[in-house]
Chains A and B, each alone.
Chain A
Amino acid sequence: MRGRMLAFVGLCSVCALAAGAYVRHAIRRAEQAGSAGETVAANGDRGLRPSGTTVLFRSTAMDSSYGRLALAPIEDPSRRQLVPTLSCERVDFASGRGVCLTAARGVVTTYAAVVFDQDFQPLFTLALAGAPSRVRVSADGAFAAVTVFVSGHSYGGDFSTVTSIIDLHRGDYVVPNLEQFTVWNEAERFDAVDRNFWGVTFARNPDTFYATVGSSGRTYLIKGAAGEREARIMRDGVECPSLSPDNRRVAFKRRDGNAVGPVRWRLSVLDLDSLRDVGLAETRNVDDQVAWLDNDRVMYTLPNAESGTAETTTWVVPANGGGEPAVLVPLASSTVVWSP
């Protein structure tokens, strides 16, 4: 017994040393990444906001800028300018109001939505119930919709989503959970218990919005009326809708096949008048809520698979099904048009 006890204590010591060394290595690696290639420019340099289109995105470069917000002109995305104040998982901005979804990793990881103004100064901070997934700000900067993942305690499974609507001028929840809405499928109430809402996009009149509702493995496009606390199913097979600036089309991701493991998505655009959709020229698997660069082009983010890290690239593709995908901003995600 004593011999075995000694063997166990010895093994514990070796394991403690090995694990300690590995964790120290990981911490040092994180710190080194944090100090390498400091490329921060001062905020408020109007010279870097040229006449052409500027995009706002979160940097995914594996240096100190990782997760930080940045602005860049699309003509020359290498002239990126980092925002000193904000680090986000997702971001959106319109008409002087932005929302940055943050994660503060700790003993219990906490998530928050930070509402900021055009100078990137935080105005309000609202606690979130889970890991950030999507955020969209209405074109008038009055409201934002936030989707988070809420996970249960069981091994891996048990995901669900919570989608809330925030008033960006008062800094509080108008709708804490879209689940409170009555959803109509033709004349019938649609209230399956496993109903999940995600991926809101606002119309020009922000009382109207589009979103995804999922249930039993199927996904539907809904058109909601925030004032009435109601929504109506428009068609199925639509996920993460994104309304065009002219409000006539919805870009979305469509399930492609039913493979085991991660789902594959194809980008498509739905015409809201004819309810006909067209697949876009991008054939890779896109898991993103796309954003419109203008009325003719959509942008979306793909991981840089070959890098083996969290690096991503924002791509752009014509919205009519023609053309070819092209790189818009390297080392960027959650890219949106910057319109202060």
Chain B
Amino acid sequence: MHLSTARRAVNDALLSLAQPGPGSETPLAPPSDSSGAQTTAGWTKRIGRNVLFLGLTSLLTDVSSEMVTAVLPLYLTFVLHFTPLAFGFVDGLYQGTSALIRLWGGLIADRGDRRKEVAAAGYAASALCKLGLWLSGTLWLPTTVVLFVDRLGKGMRTPPRDALIALSSPRAHVAEAFGVHRAMDTAGALIGPLLAFAILARAPAAFDAIFMVSFVFAILGVAALLLFVENRGGSIDTPAAVTWPSAIALLRSADFRALTLGATLLSLCTVSDGFVYLVIQRRVDLAPSLFPLLPVVVALAYLVLAVPAGRVADGLGRSRILLLGYGALIAAYVLLAWANPSRPALLGSLLLVGGYYAATDGVLMAMTSRVVPADRLASGMALVTTGTVGARLLGSIVFGSAWSWFGPENAVRLFLFALGAAIAVAAVILPRGE
């Protein structure tokens, strides 16, 4: 039942695309998709069935992981008696390890074309962790270890999965394919918390039931991957011997270097969502009970806009849409920093943040897939992601310090200015023809 709800949500998003977007008239896009009849079959052909099944895998897995994420603060504080600070420390540890495992996952996936196998191992590890949470009961150490391994699984599976998406879709529609995948992924992330709290509403404190249901969804996610997703080879003849040096050597390509640099620079000037919600909390008179809904609004906007953004990116140029996405973020900051603190302004800024995700997250991976040789795609994606994640983390630290030194308004202004400059630089250096 929950599955069909998600499917309907995704379908609704897709239906809004029934007519060809403006992008299909530009010379970059092939004319084939401007045929009026957008039947499911035609659309599947354009995106590739593999992408839909990868989307299904992510949807099921996100239902599973977001069920746990939604109740984890409650579980850790009320059942395991963690404190905010203690968990913050453990979380910092996760972040660092996650970057290393991501690079390693990308590398071993490329080595011998084992993208599906490595992704499956990552998904399976996370699935077993849900069972591990159930088994750990109220013991904090096993729980911490299990959450840690869960993170490792997530880090490991992401680059090979994104590489599979890129290798499974026609080059002309790669951003749209990522949009479809991200929309399905986000649908799962929206369903998970609803399901978790529905269980808690009927059976208070039944965290074990949540972990068990989460485990079941994770198994289905792994099954969808193993049963339906086909491995896609990257190498033309013999599998290349992909090693750390050969992965790092990707940076010798001018296009890839420019992409990594541009994306890292943009991420460095991005204020994390946490701060955005904090600013909203300070400026808008909002009932506290509505607070948990802010991320939901962003996710809904992301869900609805992911496919159109990808589609337009394929037509108009992916780097243009990426930059437009950061432009939407600037608009969101302007609304937050200067507009009358009102509900429409708040809603507008949340929608803009959702649009920013839709125009940047999958699109960046699509761009990566076009400048990296197919046999080292997962490694390349891992490198770009490590750069952007690290930069975002650093950006948050800088923003935090700027906030204490110059006050929140000036910190937002500083980041507005920096992000504007980063967009200008990125517009010059990002690979042409994208």
Residues of chain A at the chain B interface (Cβ within 8 Å):
4, 7-8, 11-12, 15-16, 18-19, 22-23, 25-27, 29-30, 89, 105-111, 127-131, 133, 149-161, 191-194, 196, 214, 217, 260-263, 287, 303, 308, 310
Contacts and interface: CB of A to CB of B under 8 A. Distances in A.
A161 B73 CA distance: 12
A22 B212 contact: yes
Contacts of B84: 149, 159-161, 196
Nearest to A198: B84
A26 B400 contact: no
Main secondary structure of the interface of B (DSSP, over half): helix
B85 A11 contact: no
Interface string B213-231: 1001101100110011000
B interface residue count range (under 10 / 10 to 19 / 20 to 34 / 35 or more): 35 or more
Contacts of B288: 111, 127-130
10 contacts: A23-B206, A23-B212, A26-B209, A29-B206, A105-B204, A106-B200, A108-B197, A156-B72, A261-B90, A308-B138
Contact of B216 (A15, A30, A105, A158): A15
A29 B404 CA distance: 50
Given A149-B84, A217-B88, 15 more contacts: A11-B219, A15-B220, A18-B216, A19-B216, A23-B212, A29-B203, A108-B289, A131-B77, A152-B273, A152-B277, A156-B69, A156-B87, A157-B88, A159-B84, A261-B144
Contacts of B403: 193
A18 to B, nearest CB: 6
B137 interface: yes
B249 interface: no
Contacts of B289: 108, 110-111, 127
Nearest to B189: A153
Contacts of B274: 152-154, 158
B8 interface: no
Contacts of B399: 193
B295 A153 contact: yes
Contacts of A29: 203, 206
Interface of B: 65, 69, 72-74, 76-91, 93-94, 137-138, 140-141, 144, 147, 151, 194, 197-206, 208-209, 212-213, 216-217, 219-220, 223-224, 227-228, 273-274, 277, 287-289, 291-293, 295, 399-401, 403-404
Contact of B273 (A130, A151, A153, A196): A153
Given A128-B288, A131-B74, A109 B86 contact: no
Contacts of B199: 23, 26
B147 A156 contact: yes
A151 B81 CA distance: 15
A194 B85 CA distance: 11
A156 B224 CA distance: 27
B400 A194 contact: yes
Contact of B73 (A159, A217, A303): A159
A2 B12 CA distance: 27
A127 B273 CA distance: 24
Contacts of A8: 223-224, 227-228
A263 B224 contact: no
